[in-house]
A and B are shown apart, each in its own frame.
Chain A
Amino acid sequence: MQTLRRKDILGLEEMSAEEITLILETARSMREIMQRKIKKVPTLRGRSVLNLFYEPSTRTKASFELAQKYMSSDAVSVAGSSSSLVKGETLKDTVRNVEVMGVECVIMRHPVSGSSHYLARSVEASVINAGDGMHEHPTQGLLDMFTIWENKGRLEELKVVIVGDIRHSRVARSNLWGLQKMGAEVMVAGPPTLMPPDLNVFGVKHFTDIEEAVEDADVVMALRLQKERQEGGLFPSMREYAELYGLNAKRLAHAKEDMLIMHPGPINRGIELSSELADGPRSVVMDQVAAGVAVRMALLYLLLGGTKE
């Protein structure tokens, strides 16, 4: 019997292709539940889950909460304010509270890289990383892979281009690991100042010419561009970014007809992605959102479905 033999989901770097496949296959079964009139199964009745969001999030939080409800678990969501985070007391005290309240699974989003490792080390409960700083966002990576897999029927030998701020992106890191493990060829494109130092550690090729990068690509994924990167002096203006690196119909004129266009949201329309593309026939942005719930249901089931020894 295939099972996920791990306590926590902290990142895709440490996950095997077999584990990823199991999660994606389980997610496929979960998606059927979402299409029912009564979207609820009793599987995790009486199991308690805590959502701990130290950063604002609409999509990811809603997605986890729906997944928890569909699986009949009892979930509580706590929004930690980042101002009370300054000395880290909140997380440390929360750790103790988690233990006492008998929570079995904690979903955490946190602005500091590695904080989910810290939490996982400190509590017996399972920890699902819902995004830690610039490190990883494994459930986003999984839902992106699920979306590609559903639309293309496979991940192996697909050419995927991730465009934008790779350096500060946990979404990019999770996708880089996950997609490559599943046999896809991944490349990144964007200004050199938005690439992580020693990029070759990820085993991907970097392009500064978007048109060259997307040639023969099966999937192109645009990342959200944060205004504060410009303020930090990494590129001159949003306008220049859009002109040099933004995805639009003209730039993709020579790309494959059936190329998928993805974005983890929320989109800066007209900056990293034009509305024409985001709302066009090749866009699977909405599929990504739906896939998010299915993937998170699958993870809750795989982590909480059996007893832990």
Chain B
Amino acid sequence: MKPILITGGRVIDPSQNFDETADLLIKDGIIEKVEKGIKPPSGAEVIDADGLVVTPGLIDIHVHLRDPGQEYKEDIKSGTRAAAAGGFTAVAAMANTSPVGDDPSMIRYVLDAAAGASARVYPIGALTKGLEGKEMAELGRMKKAGAVAFSDDGKPVSSGTMMRNALQYSSGISAPVIAHEEEPTLAAGGMMHEGSVSSLLGLKGMPAAAEEAMLARDLMIFKITGGRLHIAHVSTAGSVELLRRARAEGLPVTSEVTPHHLLITDRLVKNSGYSTSTKVNPPLRTEQDRQALWEGLLDGTIDAIASDHAPHHTDDKDMEYDFAPFGIAGLETTLPLMLDEVKSGRVKNFTLPMLIEKLSSAPARIFNLPGGTLQAGSPADLTIIDPERTFIINPDTWQSKSRNTPFGGRRLMGAPVYTILGGKITMEEGVPTE
């Protein structure tokens, strides 16, 4: 493997509070050093990063790879290529596959299939068998097989006792539980956020209270269980407030937010004429919620940004609103969308180092993953970003098998130009190298 020297870039490593122009040398797949004026070793490939930003390889902790079972939507190969194209070196894959990832053999399948792929895949095991919320899955054995966290994501854990036991038990194996907060009877049959827009459109709504009631329950339970609780895709102002209070009380709860909840609202369901690319769960909320999510992200209440990449085949989404599945693809849009937010200055105090932190060191910390840092001796997972690059979202050019996005056609400023995984370039100029 040729050494790689990246010269003259702005190196941002939130894990070390580092933000300086420097050179970075990679040798044998390991970060050798970050310094000014490194001489290129013989035979080294030199990347001129003048005007570019060098960051730890980005990690998306909420991705659905659909493999096994729904490979027509996405598979581990296409999903990791999409990750590399989008500037990610690692993804955490949810367990709602077919069969469900509730068994050590399934965890091993994912890891085997991901060997040699364009990004690292960290499997998330199911919390309960078959995602049915009734019997606890073999968390310990899955952990040993390589699962990094446990979740029934896509579905809430209805039973309070089940959630209590899962949190308590997982504390014994030090693995976080990821909660999809949705009180199922309040949200039953809902297609979008419940409010004025759902009333206008005549679509059944999911009230903000459905998310908040379940989150409140889990926070109460968490107080008596110990363990680690991570809240997936926080979407309402009330949830942010509950999390802020819990953190103030010293509860070690973490959370993530998606770019779509930060950027668009339920108005888009109406303005797009019921476009199914606006159908996501949790649903797009109101402008007030959107503002609150930004506040939560900026003040640290929300730890990470994650895409909730939910690929679907075009045929699955090309139908009546009620019948279309929830979810949009996000691996190839997340970074450019968020870079554009930094560049535009629309959100006060949202800086590039903060964005990188929410996409690298914070995810690594939450799931206790090895990456997310540029410390010498770490695996050479890096992302190189051109913050001045004009980027137009065009699903037709995606590496993902899916095309479902409400952001198609958006003209943005900022895009990844290199993704490097373990010292190997996996993406150059937006195109995966293999």
The reply, when asked whether chain A contacts chain B directly with Cβ atoms under 8 A, is: yes
What chain B residues lie within 8 Å of A86 (beta carbons)? Answer: 323
State whether B322 touches A92 (Cβ < 8 A): no
Residues A121 and B273 in contact, CB atoms below 8 Å apart: yes
Given A113-B274, A197-B205, A198-B195, residue A118 in contact with residue B200 (CB < 8 A): no
A114 touches B195 (CB 8 A): no
A218-256 toward B: CB 8 Å interface, digit per residue (1/0)?
000000000000000000000000000000000000000
Q: How far is the CB of B398 from chain A (nearest CB, A)?
A: 22
A232 vs B344: C-alpha distance when bound (angstroms): 48
8 Å CB contact of B202 from A173, A199, A201: A173
Q: Which of A13, A91, A114, A202 contacts B274 (CB 8 A)?
A: A114
Q: Is the CB–CB distance between A170 and B320 below 8 Å?
A: no
Q: How many A-B residue pairs have CB under 8 A?
A: 74
Provide the main secondary structure of the chain B interface: loop
Q: How far is the CB of B275 from chain A (nearest CB, A)?
A: 9
Beta-carbon contact of B199 and A114 below 8 Å: no
Q: How far is B322's CA from A118's CA once the two chains are assembled, in angstroms?
A: 11
Cβ–Cβ < 8 Å partners of B319 in chain A: 87-89, 91-92, 118
Bitwise, A18-60 to B at CB < 8 A (1) or not (0) is 0000000000000000000000000000000000000000000
Flag if A113 contacts B199 (CB, 8 Å): no
**A112: interface (CB < 8 Å):** yes
Residues of B close to A114: CB separation below 8 A = 201-203, 273-274, 320-321
> A140 within 8 Å of B by Cβ?
no
A113 and B196 within 8 A (CB): no
Return the chain B residue nearest A169 by Cβ.
B202
* Bound Cα distance A200, B196 (Å): 8
The reply to whether A197 and B199 form a contact with Cβ atoms under 8 Å apart is: yes
- Which residues of chain B are within 8 angstroms of A85 by Cβ–Cβ distance? 323
- Taking a contact as CB atoms under 8 Å apart, the answer to whether A197 and B196 are in contact is yes
The reply to whether the CB of A272 lies closer than 8 angstroms to some CB of chain B is no
Contact between chains at A197 and B198 (CB < 8 Å):
yes
Query: Is B194 in contact with A113, judged by CB distance below 8 angstroms?
Result: no
Question: In this assembly, does A266 line the interface, its C-beta being within 8 Å of a C-beta of chain B?
Answer: no
Q: Mark B200-237, 1 if CB is under 8 A from A, else 0.
A: 11111101000000000000000000000000000000
Complex alpha-carbon distance, A81 and B365, angstroms: 53
Cα(A201)–Cα(B274), bound, Å: 18
Q: Considering the chains assembled together, what is the distance between the CA atoms of A13 and B201 in angstroms? A: 10
Q: Is the CB of A13 within 8 A of B200?
A: yes
Q: How far is the CA of A136 from the CA of B321 in the complex (A)?
A: 15
Least Cβ–Cβ distance between B326 and chain A, in angstroms: 15
Closest B residue to A120 by beta carbon equals B273
- Shortest beta-carbon distance, B209 to chain A, in Å? 11
B-contacting 9-mer, from A63-71, A127-135, A282-290, A299-307 = A127-135
Interface presence of B388 (CB below 8 A): no
Q: B246-265: which residues lie under 8 A (CB-CB) from chain A? A: none
The answer to whether B45 has its CB under 8 Å from any CB of chain A is no
Chain B residues whose C-beta falls within 8 Å of the C-beta of A109 in the assembled complex: none
B200 touches which one: A89, A112, A132, A201 (CB < 8 A)?
A: A201
Q: Tell me if B35 counts as interface (CB < 8 A to partner A).
A: no
Tell me which residues across on chain A come within 8 A of B324, comparing CB atoms: 88
- B196 — which chain A residues lie within 8 A by C-beta? 197-198, 200-201
A133 to B199, CA, bound (A): 12
Interface residues of B in 266-316 (CB under 8 A from A): 273-274
Residue of B nearest to A119 (CB): B320
Q: Would you give the shortest CB distance from A159 to chain B, in whole angstroms?
A: 23
* B318 located at the interface, meaning its Cβ lies under 8 Å from any Cβ of chain A in the complex: yes
Chain A residues with CB under 8 A of B274: 113-114, 117-118
Cβ-defined contact, A115 with B199, below 8 A = no
Check: A110 CB closer than 8 A to any chain B CB. yes
Provide the residues of chain B in CB contact with A173, threshold 8 Å.
200, 202
Contacts of B194 in A (CB 8 A): 197
B276 to A, closest residue via Cβ: A118
Residues 95-132 of A, flagged 1 when their CB comes within 8 A of B and 0 if not, give: 00000000000000010111101100100000000001
Does A196 reach chain B (CB closer than 8 Å)?
yes
Whether the pair A115, B321 counts as a contact (CB closer than 8 A) is yes
Number of B residues near A (Cβ < 8 Å) is 22
Q: B318 and A117: CB pair below 8 A?
A: no
From residue B382, how far is it (CB to closest CB) to chain A in Å?
43
A201 touches B199 (CB 8 A): yes
Which A residue's beta carbon lies closest to that of B189?
Answer: A232
**Is the Cβ of B202 less than 8 Å from the Cβ of A91?**
no
Asked if B320 contacts A196 (CB within 8 A), the reply is no
Task: Find the A residue at minimum CB distance from B324.
Answer: A88
Residue of B207, B318, B322 near A113 (CB, 8 A) is B322
C-alpha gap A201/B202 in the complex (Å):
13
> Cα distance A223–B265 when bound, in Å?
32
**From residue A118, how far is it (CB to closest CB) to chain B in Å?**
6
A275, chain B: closest CB distance, angstroms: 30
Within 8 A of A (CB), among B120-145: none
When each residue 195-213 of chain A gets 1 if its CB lies under 8 Å from chain B and 0 otherwise, what string results?
0111111100000000000
Q: How far is the CA of A196 from the CA of B323 in the complex (A)?
A: 22
Pair B205/A113 contact, Cβ less than 8 Å:
no
> In the complex, are the beta carbons of A133 and B202 less than 8 A apart?
yes
* Chain B residues, CB < 8 A from A196: 199
B-side contacts of A115, CB under 8 Å: 320-321
Contact partner, B201, options A110, A113, A121, Cβ 8 Å:
A113
Contact B203 A134 (CB under 8 A): yes
Q: When each residue 159-199 of chain A gets 1 if its CB lies under 8 Å from chain B and 0 otherwise, what string results? A: 00000000000100100000000000000000000001111
CB distance B201 to A88 under 8 Å? Answer: no
The reply to whether B203 and A91 contact each other, CB–CB distance below 8 Å, is no
Contacting pair B202 A132 (CB below 8 A): yes
Residue of B nearest to A201 (CB): B196
Contact A136-B273, Cβ < 8 Å, known A88-B319, A118-B320:
no
**Cα–Cα distance between A92 and B317 once the two chains are bound (Å):** 11
* Among B201, B320, B323, residue most surrounded by chain A Cβ atoms (within 10 Å): B320
**Most-contacted residue by chain B among A92, A113, A117 (CB, 10 A):** A113
| A113 touching B200, Cβ below 8 Å | no
Least CB distance, A127 to chain B, in whole angstroms: 12
Interface residues, chain B, with chain A CB atoms under 8 Å away: 194-205, 207, 273-274, 318-324
Closest CB pairs A-B (n = 7): A114-B274, A135-B202, A134-B202, A88-B319, A201-B196, A196-B199, A198-B196
Please list 23 pairs of residues, one from A and one from B, whose beta carbons are closer than 8 Å in the complex, sorted by A's number.
A13-B200, A88-B319, A88-B320, A88-B323, A91-B319, A112-B320, A113-B202, A113-B274, A113-B322, A115-B320, A115-B321, A117-B273, A133-B203, A135-B201, A135-B203, A136-B202, A170-B202, A173-B200, A196-B199, A197-B205, A198-B195, A198-B196, A201-B200
